[in-house]
Chains A and B, each alone.
Chain A
């Protein structure tokens, strides 16, 4: 059943957006900067004007002020109130439905416990690390008991490892508490990892809504212009290495891929994450391949290099300056590295 429905929502940036978010679902919106992702969240929260219809559990939200819409909003810059402690930030969000200060304090403690940050209860926001602030902001958004949680690039400002850890935590919490969430990101990997469904937004239009696994295989030309052409490698001979990685084979080379806990036959990697060189790069011999340059073309100021590896081919995207430094041309032999953290089984 749809918790949130948008019907022909439009404003200066958005163009006739219609989609539903189902009960218990995490919905991701991906798109480049300026696509209208944040505007769409602001429209849902009642912070930006729009025409069209928005329903929450069949209740029309048009004209309803932000404080009555029941949308928890996790802003990109978090906006924790600096004059309040962590506990104060949570209590202020509880409103009148949670009666009594003692009950509110208990509820704040429960939420902080769930987030694993119970000892921070008396701290002020400026005394917290980036990851801690993120969790406090999430706890605060949940404290207001929203119908749906809106998250604006929630993990973009964090270190890669912390972001990944928090994504897993977020998934665990969502399963535990069963809240609905809509989050926007420009990180496809993040969307694929977290969401049940992904909407692709470009230039104010919702181009399509797909399952995360299909995101990498999208053939829509408009979508490709922003998503770039992703390398899809058909892999075989899966073997668990036992340390959160799976070893696979592609084009006669073996690679390790992060184990996401679900089976996959393909591995996706953005051309930006494929490193190539005419010398053998230093470092451990992991996720490397040898190949021959088949084609070099220029796209939006970057060089796209197609490399033939055995019977397969892969594309790498490098700067024109780097291409000139390497002095690469067609038929040159190159070494390549696939960045482990950029590999996504699908």
Chain B
């Protein structure tokens, strides 16, 4: 047993070394002054703002589509459920670049894309393209985690609520949703992390136009390509900082959930 543990420890050490090495390489490549100048530059501030609002809009779309989907998949059995359940998982395993090509064709070449363009909604090579690309990646994550969270809440609580006179919508918002909130929140945070770091699909749909469709990952790509290492690394460090915040939030949600678990067990 001791030998096995020693081998595992070596593997863990190597993995930690690799992660720390990447972080060090990014952090210590530029000085604090360079970092400060870059972060306050209009381009980085633009990328930060664009990343924040596109990811926020994407999460709202993901919630509007993912939450009801997750609830339905958790609560009802219907013909074709397995097919739909599998279908919404495809973006999770799809290469983002390929997803982007698909979105580009759907919103650019098809009747749908042409119709939307005619009424003035243009996703291709616009910031809304970034929103759609991010939502496409984020919605299945929200749907999947919501489904799992709703499955954890016994439908008998909904029965109890209805016998107390609560209509179905009120039952959902006052009973089911609050009881499933931990799992749903985790899903939202994870989906947001994927959305804000989304690159491949965004590049295909929104393109990489400086100061127009330049999200943080696109900014890293553009500035590395043009040799602006300071700006590229600042954007990278901002993404890492956001990742850390997300990890902390997830940990906090996990702790709250653990505190509440005994209560669910008793009830």
Contact = CB atoms under 8 A, between A and B. Distances in A.
Contacts of B162: 46-47, 65-67
Interface string B237-267: 0000000000000000000000010111011
A65, A67, A73: which has the most chain B beta carbons within 10 Å? A67
A140 B178 CA distance: 19
A240 interface: no
A75 B164 CA distance: 12
Contacts of A46: 162
Given A67-B166, A93-B165, A79 B266 contact: no
A82 B156 contact: no
B184 to A, nearest CB: 13
Interface residues of A, number: 31
Interface string A40-64: 0000011100000000000000000
Interface string B140-157: 000000000000001011
Interface string B174-192: 1100110100000000000
Contacts of B154: 79
A77 interface: yes
B159 interface: yes
Given A79-B157, A126-B267, A72 B262 contact: no
Contact of B264 (A65, A82, A143): A82
B163 A71 contact: yes
A197 to B, nearest CB: 23
A141 to B, nearest CB: 7
B267 to A, nearest CB: 5
Contacts, number: 79
B160 A79 contact: yes
A102 interface: no
A290 to B, nearest CB: 47
Contact of A140 (B164, B174, B179, B267): B164
B52 interface: no
A144 B165 contact: yes
A116 interface: no
A124 interface: yes
Given A124-B263, A125-B263, A92 B160 contact: no
B253 to A, nearest CB: 15
Nearest to B157: A79
B45 to A, nearest CB: 40
Considering residues B167, B168, B260, B266, which has the most beta carbons from chain A within 10 angstroms of its beta carbon? Answer: B266
Interface of A: 45-47, 65-73, 75, 77-83, 92-93, 95, 124-126, 140-141, 143-144, 150
Given A47-B163, A79-B154, A140-B164, 19 more contacts: A45-B159, A46-B162, A66-B162, A67-B163, A67-B167, A67-B171, A69-B163, A75-B159, A78-B267, A79-B157, A79-B159, A81-B160, A81-B175, A92-B174, A95-B164, A125-B263, A126-B266, A126-B267, A144-B165
